[in-house]
Structure 1
Amino acid sequence: MIDLAWWEWALLALGAVVVGLSKTAVPGAGTIAVAIFAAVLPAKQSTGVLLLLLIVADLFAVTMYRRHADWRTLVRLAPAVVAGVLVGVVFLWFADDLWVKRSIGVILLAVIAITLLRRRFTSSVGAAGPHPVAAATYGTLGGFTTMVANAAGPVMSMYFLAARFEVKAFLGTAAWFFAIVNLFKVPFSVGIGIITAPGLLIDLVLVPVVVASAFFGRWLADRMSQAVFEKVVIVFTIVGAAYLLIV
């Protein structure tokens, strides 16, 4: 049964708005949605509820930016991401809600460190963005964080930003990346019980909010300069990670 107060529904609706915007205009902001859902719902259930909303937003993002993806980057990341997802599945199988919450905090602490390091050593790390070692590191961490907490946005945003993608190439590559990875996660999420019937009912209520915000995000992205876009990505990455760590 769904037993949520009005203000909890309001928070979930706000999180759904962030989901739509994060897929079509503001990468990195999705971490705030992770924090909101984890604050309102039990940790594992929040992961399952949020996953299905992310898939809905992914479909719109892929439709809007399908021609802008860098497929060589996606292929380079694939093996490490799959490995990271499988490690995350094993972790979720054994971990309880308390450990999931703690892991979210630790994961996002690592993301903050990565973000700051990338800003401190922009030239050297940026040049190494496409390197196989960088792909393996970010891919594995991205796979694990997306499986455990749907929190790979900050990790992958930093990787794509280092690759010097312009706005639509960034959004197109990220759209295909998360669409494929999130669909890959569904059978595992059902198998370990984090996608539930009550969670599906919550998703049905929130899907229209996600769709509306995704369209608004596309409108916003068309009017955002490259410089502003990169600053927004970094700011939301740090703020979202810090907020989730506190929660």
Structure 2
Amino acid sequence: MPDLAAWAWALLAVAAVIVGLSKTAIPGATTVSVAVFASLLPARQSTGALLVLLLVADLFAVTAYRRHADVRALVRLAPAVVAGLLLGAVFLAFASDGWVKRTIGVLLLVVIAITLLRRRAQAAVTGGIHPVATATYGALGGFTTMVANAAGPVMSMYFLAARFDVKRFLGTAAWFFFLVNLTKLPFSIGLGLLTPPELLLDLVLVPLVVVGALGGRWLAGRLNQTVFDRLVIVFTIVGAVYLLL
């Protein structure tokens, strides 16, 4: 178990609640948890510990929104996501903690800028998005989720660009991350990111993830589309900037 001060445990507890909340109400907020874990634990260790918490929250999200997933969107994303996962695994095998943090921060800010420009120009239309954009977002999503569990903001930007409504957004994201995180599990174990100390930490924090997931389920039914979109963008920017600093 990590030897942390009381204030550090308090921050990890808040981050665990945010993990649950982000999966059932506010996608993109996970980046805040990524930043907290990466600042209190070695970056590689934080990636392994956070993966288990994300999987627990994914189960709640899939159960809550299983009927709202866009299966065709998931199929279109799959090839690029797999390529990104493999590239991320190679990167992790050689990159230092510092490079991991900075790389993810830069990628997130680039994705945010591109998505906002597309929305301003009304390049994205309801029900569809260009195949090149799909491949780009998918590859970035696979890479960032493998390296730092930070694909939430990337894929949030994709779903916003594709003009998904709240329920379709949450349902598709739930299945996407559940399947991707399951795929990442053997990679994380093989790279030494998930070891007994991280599992002990997760045992302490899992109940807080459940609290956040249940709270997010209550909140999601009360968010209108405009507020939802703005919250996603704000949390994405805050998390990306924190990783860079």
The normalised TM-score by structure 1 is 0.94
1:169 corresponds to 2:151: no
Equivalent in the alignment of 2:151:
152
Equivalent in the alignment of 1:243:
242
1:197 corresponds to 2:196: yes
Could you say what the CA RMSD is over the residues aligned between the two structures, in angstroms? Answer: 1.5
Secondary structure in structure 1 of the residue aligned to 2:223: coil
Q: Which runs of 5+ in 1 are unaligned?
A: none
The Cα shift of 1:48 comes to 0.6
Give the number of equivalent residue pairs: 245
Asked if structure 2 preserves the Cα contact closer than 8 Å seen for 1:112 and 1:242, the reply is no
Equivalent in the alignment of 1:46:
46
The Cα shift of 1:216 comes to 0.4
The CA distance in 1 between the partners of 2:132 and 2:73, in whole Å, is 13
The Cα shift of 1:236 comes to 1.6
Asked if structure 2 preserves the Cα contact closer than 8 Å seen for 1:118 and 1:126, the reply is no
Please identify runs of 4+ aligned residues in structure 1 that moved more than 4 A: 126-129
The normalised TM-score by structure 2 is 0.95
Matches within 5 A, 1:208-219: 208-219=207-218
Secondary structure in structure 2 of the residue aligned to 1:124: coil
The CA distance in 1 between the partners of 2:140 and 2:104, in whole Å, is 12
Matches within 5 A, 1:78-157: 78-121=78-121, 123-126=122-125, 130-157=129-156
1:23 corresponds to 2:19: no
The CA distance in 2 between the partners of 1:114 and 1:11, in whole Å, is 31
The CA distance in 2 between the partners of 1:182 and 1:6, in whole Å, is 30
The CA distance in 2 between the partners of 1:229 and 1:215, in whole Å, is 18
Q: Which runs of 5+ in 2 are unaligned?
A: none
The CA distance in 2 between the partners of 1:237 and 1:17, in whole Å, is 17
Asked if structure 1 preserves the Cα contact closer than 8 Å seen for 2:42 and 2:97, the reply is yes
Q: Deviations over 1:146-186 (max 9, x none)?
A: 10011111111111112222111110000000000011000
Cα distance, 1:45–1:155 mapped onto 2, change above 3 Å: same
The CA distance in 2 between the partners of 1:63 and 1:95, in whole Å, is 36
Cα distance, 1:28–1:154 mapped onto 2, change above 3 Å: same
